Structure 1
Amino acid sequence: MRYLAAALLVLAALILPSQTRAHEASLGVLELREVRPGAFIGHWTMEPTMGADHVDLRMPPHCFVRLPELNCGEKGLVGPVTITNLGADMSAVLIRIIPLAGEARSYTISSANPVVSVLAAGAPTLQTWIELARTYVNYGIDHILLGADHLLFVLGLIWIVRGGWRLTKTITAFTVGHSVSLAAAAFGLIGVPERPLNACIALSIVFVGIEIIKQQRGEAGLTARYPWAIAFTFGLVHGIGFAGALAALGLERRLLPAALLFFNLGVEIGQLAFVLLVLALIWAHRRLDAVLPRWGDTLPAYTIGSVSMFWFFGRLLSVFAAT
């Protein structure tokens, strides 16, 4: 599989400087509590990593803003809310609106989706679904494309299983696995501490790296013999990691099924885009008929193992530091 070596080396160069906590969401939470009709007091319950003072927050035009006070008059807090200048390390900002009467509402803004429309009570259901879809599909795409550990695991599966129908079934099994655990964790049916889980995700990539080396030595590893079972099993682990990002947004339970659906759809869109990119690089390499040095055969496998071990030890240290 020499044609994958160049693609892997480029990918490794991009992800090696990444933080060891690749699946942990960096986000801010802005709470707006109504103190009298149309008037709100706002404060950050979780400040963005770059600081709340640097975030460009814009409220609907009819609202008068003098933080921490927000006055929207008789019309109330409805209309477009924009947050820009989130920064490269910011995943999202959750805006939580707590009215005098009725249920609290939550809206999520990301760098890919910097504008949300705050809906009035009794807003059309279709409008609510459209807003949720626009927000959480984009958030899912952001999360998967920034989740270098997940992408490296998928790349390892492509390397071992190779192309064709067998690869399609393996990627599908991985998708089913992380979809099941994502739903179970998001609804609180299962729970795993985030730091040990992230260490296990890194360890799963180490396992794939070892399996690639076994295959190059002519040995049939577990992934080569039972690709769907291995992909499904590790998909369960990765799915709980995805759920950590979704649960951290603090959504009310009535919005969770729709948000979960659209978030998972965004994750799958991002994953499919990555798989197609790798397959396109393989095709281009074959067309060029390039030949790498002999040592190029083993370098990608050791690169996968080295990067994932770096993540594993970094995350393991964070587990011990937390205790």
Structure 2
Amino acid sequence: MTTLRLGTRRSKLAMTQSGHVADALRARGHDVDVVEIVTEGDTSRASLASMGGHGVFASALREALLSGEIDIAVHSLKDLPTTPEPGLVVAAIPARVDPRDALCARDGLTLGELGEGAVVGTGSPRRRAQLACLGLGLEFRDIRGNLGTRLDLVGPGEGQLDAIVLAHAGLTRSGLQERVTEVLEPIQMLSAPGQGALGVECREGDEQVLAALRPIDDADTRAAVTAERGVLAELGAGCAAPVGALAEVVDDLDGPILSLRAVVAATDGSGELRRSITGPLGEAEDLGRRLARTLIADGAPALADLSATHPTTASEHAQ
């Protein structure tokens, strides 16, 4: 077939992620040209939620796909809105990298060693809320920027942070594992739906491209993230809603099943609601939606603003 034009954001992490997809396609005999697409999320210093949430990263790539400028777009799946884009399809979800969150702290400290009053940087209401619910007396500061910029904020000195929390997958893909001082287990913090996974999107009905992408789709990863995103979709969660979800494929007596956990947490740390469900891989989206309905029935809307699209200010979420 002709050369595949692969669109990607121009950030270092996005380029690294897209490089993995390009290499997988080249290993299967395809020629791939990487096309850098500039998004508003890459150029603006405004908070992510104030620009419209994670979808701001996807919109420019999707426009390039629909206009025929590129043939495929690589997204961080957690940045991709749950509502399908007319004319496009997520044709491949490659095998996922570790979906957990990671602490990067000064002096090699773990979360439990930070101490009351320690300042933790994060732009994620989900992370902030779950950390606040641990009751460790932490304070929080909103941060944005690429991985290097955020990591540079950690250290001694005025205006610096005691720690930041980032996706372990992004640090791993960027070769920055040595900055991790603790990987946070799901019992402490459930990750964002789709975290650690990539979504490869193309035009619906483009059979040549669809055929090229099918071999790099991982069925277990697709089932897991479909369940997680089903939780978000059923909750109608906005980009600043403090919601986490993680699905894993586990062995049962009759074969592999999905185990799905989700959390809704209060941003002031006053409480959190955790629920779980298991079921067949083929019912992934339904499992996610069923779990979301359980969360709603058990009081999630009273605990947090599920439609939130703008984060609170730093002073409002200091704990």
- Structure (1 or 2) with the greater strand fraction: 2
TM-score bracket for the superposition, by shorter chain length: under 0.3
TM norm structure 1: 0.22
Which protein has the larger Cα radius of gyration, Structure 1 or Structure 2? Answer: 1
